[in-house]
Structures are given as structure tokens and as C-alpha cells.
Structure 1
Amino acid sequence: MRKLLSIGFWEFIARVILRNRIAILAIVVLITVFFAFQWKNIVFTQTEANLIPADDKVNVDYNNFLSKFGEEGNLIVIATQDKKLFTPKVFKAWSDMMTNIDSHKEVDLVISVDNLKVLAKSDSLQRFVLKNLVDKSQTQKQAYLTQIKSDLLNNLPFYEGLLFNKKTGAIRSALYLDKKIVNTKARKDYVLNSLIPEIEKFESKTGIDLHASGMPYIRTLNAKTIIDEIGLFIGAALLITGLLFFFFFRSFRATLISLIIVIIGVMWSFGLLGLLGYEITVLTALVPTLVIVIGIPNCIFLINKYHQEYAKHANKAKALQRVITKTGTATLMTNLTTALGFATFIATNNVLLTEFGVVTSVMILLLYILCMLILPVFFSYIPAPIPRHLGHLEREYLTSFFKWIVNTVKFNRVGVYIVAICMLIIGLIGIHKMRISGSILEDMPKKTAFFDDIRFFEKEFSGVMPLEIMIDTKRKKGVMKLSTLKRMEELEETILEIPELSKPLSVVNLVKYSKQAYYNNNPDFYELPTAQEQSFILSYAKNATQNSKDNLMKSYVDDTGQFARITTFIKDENGEKMEAIEAQIRAKADKVFPPSRYEVIITGKPSVFQKGTKYLLDNLLSSLLMAFALTAGLVAIMFRSFKMVLVSIIPNLLPLLMTAGLMGFLNIPLKPSTILVFGIAFGMSVDDTLRFLAQYRLELSRNDWRIKKSVFATFDDAGISMFYTSIVLFFGFSVFMLSSFGGTVALGGLVALTLFFGMLSNLVLLPALVLSLNRSIANEQEFIAPKIDILEPSDEEVDAFEKK
């Protein structure tokens, strides 16, 4: 009765589709136009991904820091190591460039050698005044520039590590952007349309290559690369899947309609992003390509079934109707399991992954509906398949491949299990070698010029990624107390001992510089004042920090004088040392600043991202377990057999373990991009398992419950589609290896590899397990009446229903 109801439902759907072809095409066009109008709402992300929930303490601390000091990632640096900088022609070009940059409304402050301010004591005013280091009227004299360079490197320790590297002679300028634009489109427009042209103009005029970096600069070029790669991925995916499709079916028309369907899906995916108000991030940028990669296998499965049906009776109308009638439930369930694999990301409590999970799972179901509507309508209008189109059903390479599989399963199951156990052991060994990376830079495009610049600044200035330390003195004006400054200096000494960190920058530097200025700029006096000196030197220093646009230190003490900020920059190689670095700073901070009297917060983008990666790992492992549970639940409902649950999970778990092991052996770290591999691959690989088991159950009923005959008959029907779809998915995901982003390359390669292992596992290990456990899992009582019937009905059952 249940099967008759199922046939009746899909028979009704088939009639509706084939009798209302014009209306269906019109509805698809209208929906496409609707989604196209949503494209205007598409926005591209201007910030890094925050992987931690908003109410987590890590985020609370970070937002607390931002509320006191504003956006910390507003620094852009421009540097050169060329000795020709201190020659009249080049120095003038450098000065002109910095003057032009300083005039831009998006820039708050420029600190550069040509406009550098130095402190000078004014006894009459009882304060320090700021004077220019460089007299621009003298810069045409080589001797003068040589002296300026000497003064800078030898007499101004305050600027060491900020503007120059004394050992290598590298010189840089610091640009502080308006904090209001740092996380907006205005930042991108400024960097691309104003800053970079200024840099290129200088390089063209002088022949000197400049290095530029800093979080606003990195964010902008990183986002631009993401946008540029969207078109690359879509074009490459269409080309590769289209060529594979044509190779399999040798039909231009079948290839064309399949590509049209996925192109419509791509249009819908962009529209869905705009409709939901989701930003284009490094993850959501992959969705249009995923639509192509996942949509083509749906087309393959349905067209292959159409050709199989037509080959039986040469009746086009009957073949089209039976494609829907016979495969409707099965394809719906397999698409649901794929959607479930992506939907598990929604449960991670992470905005980035939740949005990715929502869009991909919804698009998978929309693609299924698109395929079921458009393919039958299209083939109803074109001529019936010719023998050349049906030749793929009996290709020699396919028959040889499946003959090898059948012989392996039939005669060498022990060998299959030995290989599976060996793969399991190798995978488990490799898993122990895996490492976790919490680096912001890990997934950035390493083949780009701006990534080379990042490495330059890591080498010359110990990085561009800010690590922030905020000190709450718990009393107004507590920062400028000499006792507080000495505690900060002691903490900074610990920071200087950590090789991965740069020289720290804080109000301590200004106070030291104030003492040096008080003693006529003698660098020997670059130190904190003594108790006897503090009253007059600190008063001079306080006066020097008032109402000055050129005051570098204005962002390092809040308006109340209660909160102080220490900024250091970290070499963000892979994030592995971040936890140990923070622990070392924390241990010293707790010792120097008693928690009863002070509160010290360690934060900043690298710290938040590293902690977010660990949080993400914990949550995605939970979501993967949820995917296993949901899949097991579906299998249990469909087959009413616990043993079938085990048989379905094992062939899909082994490829995941094997891929995880390879990541360990190949030193591919667990990071936000590679963690996604397992959920995506499992959700897609389990489709083949369900198709195989559903067809196997059908063959059992057809062959009087003869196990071996049913298993091998399953290959004849489901095997070709499983092979075709797996090959398309393998090459489709391989498209992502064209990316400049290491994370995207790893994601594409690892998913492709996992799906390839999954195909072999489902075609070899799965039938071997079914045969070995045949007496248990082929129990007729367990198989006769499943709760959800995904079996393809037999010709006789459909005939019987149609006669009614």
C-alpha cells in the first residue's frame, strides 16, 4: 500500500509537470527574474571572520577593548630597504607621496621620516613642543640627508621598530586611517583607488619597489582576490563539468540543458545571498561553484535513468514519466541527506558557518526541484535519444571497471577487508600527527605580492598583526602614575624577550622619550624618570599629549587616564605559538599587576582568531557527529534495521579517517577551511550509499531474496550513476585547487580526495559488507515494510498502477 501511494504521488507529479510545461518554464523564469533583482543587495565582507559567539568572554573582552580605543586595525605601513631613499631625488619623491597621502580625507595621521616630529623642551612654556626633524629646504643636499639618516638611526630610539630597523636599515612610514571607515566599503575604495596608485606612481618615478601592508591593506586585497576568484571558479567548474558530461553522454543537447540548469542555480544562489542579506565571505563565495558541482550529478542521475528507460521500450513519453515516478523519492532522499550534511553547519553557533549552511542546504533542495522540473520538460520538446546517446550504458571502460569490482567483491572480500583495516590504521596514525592552526594568514593567497609584503614586514619589523594588551588601573588618571608606568615597562621587557613579537608601543615609550627630550635629546636618557624627576618630566609629557593631531600616543591612554594600551605585532606564521605566547604574557601580567588592583586583558585579531579556530573545531566535530546521527536515523527509518545503519556508516567513515590521516602525514593543519571538509564530504558521499542500498533492496525483491544475484544486479543499475557522479564531484571540487587561497585549495583537494575514496568504498567495501552479513541484513522481515520507501518501483508495479 505504501509503495502504491508513493507511485501515485509521483505519477501525479509527473502528469502535472508534463501537462503544464509552458507554465512551469514561465514560473522558473519569474523566479529567476525575482532573484536577479536581489543581486543589488549583495555586499562583500569588509572584516575578517569572527568565529566565536558574540556573548563569549573572548569577544566580550575584544569589544570592551574596542569601546575604549576604537578599531585597532587601522594602521597601514609602507616600507623600503633601498639605500637610495636618502638621496635628494628619491627623498623628494617619497616626501611628495607622503604629503599627498596625508591630504586624503580617509587618513587621520601619517608618520614618516620626511614629516617626523621630535620633542624639544620649552622652559618658558613648561612643556615639550614638537619640531620637524627634517628641514625640507635642505633636502637637496646629500650631506644633509646623510646626517638625517644618522640622527634617525642613532638618536631616536623612540621610533626604532616603528619607523626603522637599525640593523638592516629598512625604513617605513605609518598611515593611520580614519577608524570610522576601517570596516566599510570606503576603506576598500581608498586603498584600491587612491593609496595603491600613489605607491605605483612613486615606484614608476624612482624605480624602487615599495612594500605595503597592515590590516586594512591586507583585508582589501584579500577581499579583492576572493571576488576575482568567484568568476574563475564558476567558469572552470562549468568548463570541467560540461566536458565530463559530454564525454559521458556524447550529447550536446543534454550537456547544454544541464549547464543551463546549473547556471540558473548560480543566479538563484547570488539572489538568495542578496535576499537574506548575507555578505560574500571566503565561504559564501564558494556557494555558486558548489551549485554547479552538486547540480550536475543530479542531472547525470536523471538523464542516465531516462536513457535506461528509453532503451527498454523506446517510448519517450513513457520514459520521461517513469524517470519522475521511479526516482522521485530516491532522489529526494539523497538530496535531503546532502542538504543535511551542509545544514549541520547551522548548529555551530557561528555566523559565518550558519550563513554558509543555510544557503548551501537551501540551494541543494532548490537545485533538486529545478532538475525535476526542467529536465523532463526539455526532453519532451527535443527528439528522442539516438543510439550514440545511449552508448554510454555499455562502454568498454565502464564494463571493465565494474567487472573488476564484481570479481573483487565476489572472490576477494578478505583482501578488501585487509586493505580497509590497513587504511584505517594508516588514518589513525596520521590523525595523531595532525596540528591545529589558528593563523589569520594561513589561508591567505601566498602567491600574491601583498603576501610577500607580509613576510617582508615579519622579517624586518616582526609582523603586522596587532596583539593588544589593555590595562585597567581601576582609577582615573592611574595610567600616568610612575608606579603604573614601571609595571608596564616590566611587562614590556617580557614582550621583548619573545622572539615572535615586535617592540611594544605604549605610553611608556612617550614618557621615556620625554625624559630624553628633557635632557637635550641625549639618547642615553631614553628611560623612565626617577621619583625625583617624575613631577616635572611627567607634567611636560602630559602637556605634550594635549590637542595634537601629530601625537602618536593619543590612542594609547583613554580619555579618563584609567585605561592603558600596549600594542605589539606578532609573526603570524601558523598560530601554533599564540597560546604559549599569551600564557607567558599572562603569567608576567598577573605577577606585575595584582588582579585585586588591576585588570589585564590580552586581545587583538590574531588572539581572537586563534581562539575562534579551537572553538570552531569543537563545534564542527559536534556537528559532524550530528550528521552521522541524522544519517543513521534516516537509514534506520528507511530500512528498519540497525545492521543496515552500521553497513551504511562504515564505508563513509573510513574515507573521512583516511583523509584526516593524510592531513597529518602531509602537514595540512586543521583550520576553518579544512575542518569543513569532513561535513561536506560525508553529506555527499552518503548519497551513493543510499542509492546502492535502495537499489539492492529492490533487486532482492526482484530476485526472490537471492543475495549475491541482487548485489551484482545492483551494479548494473546504480553503479553507472554512482561512478559518473563521483567522477564529476571529484573534478568539480578539484576546481577549487585553482585558488590562490591555501585554505580553499586544501578544501577542494581534500573533499575531492575524500569523495574518490568514498566512491571506491561504496562500490567495493559496501557490497562486500552486504555479502558478508547477508544472512542478517537480508532478513526479509526487516526489509519488507520500511517506514520511508526510497525503492525504485519495478516496471511491473508501475504498469499495475497505470492500468488502474
Structure 2
Amino acid sequence: MHALSFVESMMTRFLQTVYSHRIKAFIILLLVFVGYVAANIPNLQKDGRVEAFMHESDPALSTYYDMRREFGQDNRLVVAVAADNVFSTEFLTKFSRMHRELADNVPYVSEIFSPYNIPFIEHENGGLYLEELVRNMLARGRNPEDLRERIMSTPLYKNFIISEDGKTAAVVIEPYRYAPSTNDCVPDPANGVTCAVAFTPLDERDLLGGPHYAEMTAAAQEIVANYQGEGYDVYIAGAPVLSTEIVKMMEQDMPRFTLACVILTVLAMLVLHRSFLIAIGAFLSFVMAIFSTLATVSLTGVAMTPPTQLLIPMTLVVGLCTYIHFIATLLKTRAAEKDGLVALKNAVKKANTPILFTALTTAGGLVGLAAAPLAPITALGLFGTVSVGLSYILAMLWATLVFRTLPERYLDRQTEKAGVIATVMRKGAMISANAPRTTLAVCGGVVLAAALGIFQLSYSHNSLLWLPEENGARLSTEYIDANFRGTVNLEMVITPTEGSDFRDETLLKAVEKTAREAYAAVDIPIGRHTSIISFVEETNQAINDGDPAALTIPGQEQIWDQILLLEGQGIDDMKRYVSMDYSSGRVSFQTPWLEAKLYSDVIATIETNFETALGDIATVESTGLIALLAKTSKKVLDSMTISYGLALGLVTVLMAVALRSASLGVVSMIPNVAPFVVLLGLMGYLNIPLDTFTVLIGGIITGLIVDDTLHFFYNVRQRLNAGEAMETAIGDAMSDIGRALFTTTVVVMLGFTVFTMSSMSNIQSFGMLMASGAVLALLSEVFIGPAVLMLYAQFKEAKHQPRVSAVANVPAE
């Protein structure tokens, strides 16, 4: 334990220096804080994309990015317009104007499709040509009703640019594959602008990301807002819109949460301690810790995601627990010792070890999160550990500065006697200590009853349902999903084996047959499927004078000829479904935005059917946003198992080290685990699913529970070493730290209630559960903690008694 003595000595010297030079310390602290935060916070990024939940090294994400590089985007914006008659001249004139404005003013647009510009494949004089019938018809003043049947009978367009019932038309915007680079050059020979020939490998170019999607969404929303009106109902959805809306919610919530946490913290501390200085110290400690942590996030280039918002309450828990316990210890030592420096030294000696180990055990719980398979949870674990370190140092520092600044008359009023709160908590602890078996039987029954609810616990990942029911992005997504049967895609990338390519007749027929069978093979709606086969079939029908029976895959020779015709006409759209050399192709299935776990069976079924149908002639790999959503859903449970397992192991070891007893360390985990079990059971009974927020409850609540347990058990241990009996030690320990335990619980509970103000439903649930967890943690410490300590003492005494008896009965020589 020499290392602990060294840490205690260094902390004493540091804080005594701060105490003696408070003005200099304050100025240096303020300058460092302002400089660090000002240099980094402005660059803080936010990301609500599905991809942001995956690690960059995740094979699923690599496969998805490879697909985007090869074939193009599946992140599309969809602008749908409902009207009484979408085939009227009046409607299409207005719709076409909106289409052109979107094409001209939305940035990063690679392709844009709608009834206005969609090409029809026509065959004339042995050749193919494309005609934008709607645009041409409007230009010639003809009646668009003449095209209704043609558009509605074309599979390529149904549930893409026109709904199945023909009452809603859509503009589909496909973004760039890659983000623009400062080195990009656009030649303009007329003005003498030339570009040097340069080649950048595709895997070195940055893909279009969250900020670009936000720009696109904002521009599109601004344009369509001008067209919204009676008889012209506009809906805008798609993955870019949803991710942008989530980021917007984050930007609204983070300042509100921070401000509310600060206000509640100051008020609670003001009421409980009746000192404005102590309240301000808590405020400054929390604010500096959270902003320094966010500045560190920004410095590393990691984007804030919805789960990493939880750094705010995490910092609140750790920082305030440290601050409250240390300021309470300072005031108690000052009551016995009038010399401030000596009182400070005594306070560090008394409180630093449990405070330090509280920080270490909390960090241990967060290290468990750092091993999670979901990127935001890993980030929360890593930066949460940073937050723990900063909170520990800043809380100790600010408590010292406040202690040095408090007026003498306030300090002289302090007493070592237990107050009303501590007295009440002592009585509760003594009830438990006097009847440990009865207390544990009652508490065990409650925990067991709650634990049964765990069997009803489900897991979920559906970011659409995070948004309020009246949210525009959610309503638009639900409308388009209902009328077009989908806003997201499942991609099947098919790679023919050596000696074949994606123009092989046998392969194409097997692919199309399997794709058509997928509609009946799965339990979710599929709006459409698209591949290069769709264009081959359309071409074959055009060549055969529009005969509906010819909407099929022709023979091998005709396939080659028709693909050559399509290439000759420059139909770039089909190239989005096949590689440049036809070595691979994709089949896109359009489906609604659903609960992510529902996609797992769908993907497995479709992928298995393709593998069975294709056999040895091709390999199949699933990807796309749906595949990422499905994998994210599974990783929620993986994260829980890995994170909680590591956290439990690390916390147990650190508790044993802090208490200098392996057996006592294990016993101390009982009041630590019980509140968490009850919380999980409540989630099951209340039908609150495990998601990327609620799965973090265990890791974060650990900080609060461990803080209470460690301070209580450590205080008891110190009193036992001083010769007190267990029952007396329990009562005196609760008298000593009861007020601090109660204060941390109240302040943390109020802090978590802030999250019930969130616009996002899952964060509301998280806040409610964490506030409940704070209360459960306190109750566990008051009742379960003393009971297990008494039984532990009785067990140790019973184990020791036979040895004493045996020694006493040994005959004298």
C-alpha cells in the first residue's frame, strides 16, 4: 500500500499549495481551462448516422463502404408529394419546378430521379433511345393522363418514383459517393483553367459523411417548404434526413441538459449546505469537467453520437460524488481542527483513499464499456474514463478553493455531531444491523421479484422511434414507408465465380427468380427489388414492341446485345447495379424502416436462398443500411454481456484492494449489484427495451453505487481497525458519512431527471431509470450494506471461534 501513501502525500502537497496560493491557483486553472476548451470545442462534431454506431475496423462496415465505392450510395433523400391527381398538368408543372430547384440547389447530388426526368427505354429502327416522356409531354402541351398506364405498369418506377396506388409522386436524390476535396479540380478550357492529371486510390478518398448529409437535408427542406400547401402535401425522408434530425435533437438537448444539470446542482447544494460558495464550487467543478471532456473528444476527432451525450450525467455523478464527500470531510475536520492547512491534511488522509478508489472503480466499470462492439459505447467508455480523472482532480481542487474562501463564521458553525439527515440514516442502518437476516430476507424477496422481470426484457434498436410521434422526419418516414413500402435498402452483392460474370444467362435467371421469391419468403414488406436485370427486362420488352410478355430475361446472345445497346445509349443508371467489368453486381431490396432485430431473420432468409439458388456459380454477401441496423441490434446484447462482465470483474478486484480484503471486496458487491438487478427487472415489467442507451445503465450507475458502498465500507473498516465492534462501526460510519450519501443521491437524482426533458423517447426512459437507480442505490446502502456486514462479521467470528476453543483445550505439557 506504499503507492497509496505516495498518492496521498502528493495530493496533500498539491492541495495545500492551492490552499496557500488560492488566487494564483484560480487564475492558472481558469487560463488553462479557457484556452483548452476554446481551442477545441468549436471543432466538436456530431453524427447520427447508422454507420456511426460501427467501429471503423468492423468488417460489416468495411463491406458496406466497399459496396458504396463500387456501386454508389444507398443513402437517399426521398421527397414525396401527395395530391388528388398526380397526373394532371397543374400538378406536374409545379412538381417539375420543384424537381429542377432541388437539382440546382441541393449540394452533393449525384443523381436525381422523378416522373419529370425518368427515362423511358424506346426501340426504333433497330436501336434504343431514351425519352423523358413527362418533360417532353409538358413541353408539347399534351395531357399527362396519357402516360398514367405506362408509368404505373413499369416495374422500375413503381414504389420508386410513383406509389402503388398512383396517388403520390416522388423525387429520389442520390448523393455523391465521395466527399469533395480541396484538391478537386474542374477544368474550364474556355477560361484557360486546366487540371493536372492526378489519381487518388478510391480507398483513400473520404466518403460523403454526416455534415454533407446535413447540408443536403437542410437545403432540400428549405426548398420543399416553399411548395407545401393545400392539395400538395410534401414529405421528406431517407437515412440522411433521419440522421440529420437526430443530430438536430442532440444540438437542442445538450445545451438544455447541461444548463438544467447546472441549475439543479446549484439549487440542491444551496439548500442542503446553505452556502452559495459551496454551490458555486460544485457548479464550477462540474462545468469544467464536462467541457474539458468534450474538448478532449473534439481534439481526438471523434464525433458525438446520441449515446455519448451520456458523458454529461456521467460527469455529474462522478464529479459531484467526489466534491460532496470531500467538502463534507473538510467541514468535519475543520470542526475539530481550527488550522485550515492541518484540517486539509487530515481531510485528505481520511477521504482521499475511498475517493480515489471510487474514481478507479468507476473507471474500471467504464473500461468495460470501452471493449464494447459498438463504437459510441466504446467512445463513452474511453472518454468517460477521461471524465473520471478530470472530475477527481477538479472536484478536489474546487473543494479546496471553496474551503479556503468560506468565511470563518460559517466554518465555526460546523460540528462533528450527526445532523438530522445522518441521524435518520443511522437509524435505518441500525434497524438492518440489528436484524440482518430479516432485512436480507425482505430485500432479497424484493430483488428476486424484480429479477423475474428480467425474463421479459427485450432488446431494440430503432432510431426512428427515438423521435417524438409528431416529429416531421418521423411522420414523413412513416408516410413514405406506408405508401412506397420502404425508405432503406438491403443490398445483396453477388460475385460470379471465375470464368463467369454478371451477364451470364444462368446466373441472371437464378438471381431474378430468387429475388422475386423473397417477397413471400419474409415477414416484412418489400417495396421493390432492383438490379441490372431490371434494365435488361425493360430493354427486351421495348425491343418486342412493348409486349408485356417480353418483360423477361432473354437468351444469352440477346443479353449481350441488349447490354451493349444500353451502354451505347449511356444509361448510367444501370451501372449503379453492376461493377465496371461486370465482375459483380448487386440486388437492392427496398424495405421500411423497422425495428432492427426484425431484419436479422430477413437477411438470413434472403441470403440463404441466394446461396442455395446460386450454388457454386457465385458468392453472396449482404450489406446496406439494413444489414448495419441488424448487426447493430445484435451488438447491443453483445455490448451488455462484454461490458457488464468486465465491469463486474474489475470493480470487484478494486473494491478488494481498497478494503484490503478479498472476502470483504466480494461481500461489498452485494449492495452494488442489487440495485442494478432491480432496475433491469423494472425495465422488463415496464416494457422498456435494452437499446444503445439503456444498455449503459449498469456501467454508469456503477459510479454512484460504488461511491456509496466504498465510502461506507471503508469507513466501517477503519473503525474496525480502531477496535470498534461491527455494530458500533456501522452506526458511527453512517453518522459520519450519511449526510454526504444523501446529498449525492439527491443531487444525482435531480441531475438525471433532466433527461426526462429530452425530445428523444429513449433518453427520457434512460433518465427516469437512472433517477430511480440513484434512489435504489441509497436504499441498498442503508439496508443491504449493514445487513451483509453484520452477517460477514458473524461468519468471521464463527470461523474464528473453533480455533480459539481448540487452542484452549490443548493440555499443558
The answer to whether the superposition gives a TM-score over 0.5 is: yes
Q: Is the 8 A contact 1:187 1:220 kept in 2?
A: no
1:220-259 paired onto structure 2 within 5 Å: 220-259=244-283
Match of 2:441 among 410, 415, 418: 418
| Residues 611-632 of structure 1 deviation map (CA, whole Å, 9 limit, x = unaligned) | 2442453344233222222222
Q: Is the 8 A contact 2:278 2:402 kept in 1?
A: no
Match of 2:565 in 1: 543
Distance (whole Å) between structure 2 residues aligned to residue 738 and residue 463 of structure 1: 31
- The yes-or-no answer on 1:710 pairing with 2:759 is no
Match of 1:275 in 2: 299
Match of 2:194 in 1: none
Q: Is the 8 A contact 1:466 1:568 kept in 2?
A: yes
Match of 1:647 in 2: 667
Distance (whole Å) between structure 1 residues aligned to residue 6 and residue 380 of structure 2: 36
- The yes-or-no answer on 1:484 pairing with 2:507 is yes
Match of 2:118 in 1: 116
Match of 1:159 in 2: 157
Q: Is the 8 A contact 2:655 2:665 kept in 1?
A: yes
Match of 1:515 in 2: 540
Distance (whole Å) between structure 2 residues aligned to residue 574 and residue 447 of structure 1: 19
Q: What secondary structure does 1:723 align onto? A: helix
Q: Structure 1 residues 231, 16: CA separation in 2 closer, same or farther (over 3 Å shift)?
A: same
Q: What letter is aligned with 2:505?
A: L
Q: Structure 1 residues 476, 631: CA separation in 2 closer, same or farther (over 3 Å shift)?
A: same
Distance (whole Å) between structure 2 residues aligned to residue 360 and residue 496 of structure 1: 45
Match of 2:370 among 342, 346, 362: 346
Match of 2:84 in 1: 83
- The yes-or-no answer on 1:571 pairing with 2:592 is yes
How much does 1:754 deviate? 2.6
- The yes-or-no answer on 1:98 pairing with 2:99 is yes
Q: Is the 8 A contact 2:668 2:785 kept in 1?
A: yes
| Residues 540-596 of structure 1 deviation map (CA, whole Å, 9 limit, x = unaligned) | 354224463x643220111111211111123332222222112211231122101x2
Q: Structure 1 residues 610, 536: CA separation in 2 closer, same or farther (over 3 Å shift)?
A: closer
| Residues 676-702 of structure 1 deviation map (CA, whole Å, 9 limit, x = unaligned) | 111221233111111001111223344
Q: What letter is aligned with 2:160?
A: L
Q: Is the 8 A contact 1:439 1:606 kept in 2?
A: no
Q: What letter is aligned with 2:751?
A: G
Distance (whole Å) between structure 2 residues aligned to residue 521 and residue 54 of structure 1: 48
Q: What secondary structure does 1:294 align onto? A: helix
How much does 1:423 deviate? 2.9
Q: What secondary structure does 1:672 align onto? A: coil
Match of 1:801 in 2: none
Q: What secondary structure does 2:178 align onto? A: helix
- The yes-or-no answer on 1:201 pairing with 2:226 is yes
- Scaled by the length of structure 2, the TM-score of the pair is 0.87
Match of 1:786 in 2: none
Q: Is the 8 A contact 1:655 1:757 kept in 2?
A: yes
Distance (whole Å) between structure 2 residues aligned to residue 389 and residue 219 of structure 1: 55
Q: What letter is aligned with 2:354?
A: A
Match of 1:789 in 2: none
Q: What letter is aligned with 2:593?
A: D
Q: Structure 1 residues 7, 605: CA separation in 2 closer, same or farther (over 3 Å shift)?
A: closer
| Residues 271-303 of structure 1 deviation map (CA, whole Å, 9 limit, x = unaligned) | 212222222222333324532343233222222
Distance (whole Å) between structure 2 residues aligned to residue 452 and residue 612 of structure 1: 24
Q: What secondary structure does 2:525 align onto? A: coil
Q: What secondary structure does 2:545 align onto? A: coil
Match of 1:756 in 2: 775
Distance (whole Å) between structure 1 residues aligned to residue 578 and residue 282 of structure 2: 62
* Matched-pair identity in %: 20
Q: What letter is aligned with 2:538?
A: Y
With 63-72 and 339-348 compared, the bigger mean Cα shift is at 63-72
| Residues 403-449 of structure 1 deviation map (CA, whole Å, 9 limit, x = unaligned) | 65135314543442223222332243222222232445454555521
1:38-77 paired onto structure 2 within 5 Å: 38-45=40-47, 47-49=49-51, 51=53, 57-73=59-75, 75-77=76-78
Gaps of 5+ in 2: 180-206, 801-813
How much does 1:60 deviate? 4.7
Q: Is the 8 A contact 2:466 2:762 kept in 1?
A: yes
How much does 1:70 deviate? 3.5
1:293-692 paired onto structure 2 within 5 Å: 293-312=317-336, 318-348=342-372, 351-384=375-408, 386=410, 396=420, 398=421, 401-402=424-425, 405-406=428-429, 408-441=431-464, 443=466, 446-475=469-498, 478-497=501-520, 498=522, 499-522=524-547, 524-525=548-549, 527-531=551-555, 535-536=557-558, 539-546=561-568, 548=570, 551-594=572-615, 596-692=616-712
Q: Is the 8 A contact 2:293 2:386 kept in 1?
A: no
With 651-660 and 161-170 compared, the bigger mean Cα shift is at 161-170
Distance (whole Å) between structure 1 residues aligned to residue 500 and residue 225 of structure 2: 45
Distance (whole Å) between structure 2 residues aligned to residue 391 and residue 488 of structure 1: 82
Distance (whole Å) between structure 1 residues aligned to residue 386 and residue 135 of structure 2: 62
| Residues 109-165 of structure 1 deviation map (CA, whole Å, 9 limit, x = unaligned) | 2211222321111224x2243342343546977xx2444445433x32331121222
Distance (whole Å) between structure 2 residues aligned to residue 618 and residue 245 of structure 1: 39
Q: Structure 1 residues 41, 248: CA separation in 2 closer, same or farther (over 3 Å shift)?
A: same
With 743-752 and 578-587 compared, the bigger mean Cα shift is at 743-752
Q: Structure 1 residues 383, 686: CA separation in 2 closer, same or farther (over 3 Å shift)?
A: same
Distance (whole Å) between structure 1 residues aligned to residue 357 and residue 795 of structure 2: 25
Match of 1:743 in 2: 762
Distance (whole Å) between structure 2 residues aligned to residue 401 and residue 225 of structure 1: 42
Q: What letter is aligned with 1:508?
A: I
Distance (whole Å) between structure 1 residues aligned to residue 284 and residue 581 of structure 2: 63
Q: Is the 8 A contact 2:490 2:588 kept in 1?
A: yes
With 672-681 and 476-485 compared, the bigger mean Cα shift is at 476-485
Q: What secondary structure does 1:180 align onto? A: coil
Q: What secondary structure does 2:408 align onto? A: coil
Q: What letter is aligned with 1:644?
A: L
Q: Structure 1 residues 693, 21: CA separation in 2 closer, same or farther (over 3 Å shift)?
A: same
Q: What secondary structure does 2:597 align onto? A: coil
**CA-atom RMSD in angstroms:** 3.1
Distance (whole Å) between structure 2 residues aligned to residue 678 and residue 542 of structure 1: 60
Q: What letter is aligned with 2:115?
A: V
Distance (whole Å) between structure 2 residues aligned to residue 501 and residue 740 of structure 1: 31
- The yes-or-no answer on 1:693 pairing with 2:713 is yes
How much does 1:7 deviate? 7.0
| Residues 311-367 of structure 1 deviation map (CA, whole Å, 9 limit, x = unaligned) | 445665554443334322221221222222222222336543333222111121112
How much does 1:765 deviate? 0.4
Distance (whole Å) between structure 2 residues aligned to residue 255 and residue 139 of structure 1: 75
Match of 2:784 among 760, 765, 787: 765
- Scaled by the length of structure 1, the TM-score of the pair is 0.88
Q: Structure 1 residues 619, 463: CA separation in 2 closer, same or farther (over 3 Å shift)?
A: same
Match of 1:180 in 2: 178
How much does 1:10 deviate? 5.3
Q: What secondary structure does 1:693 align onto? A: helix
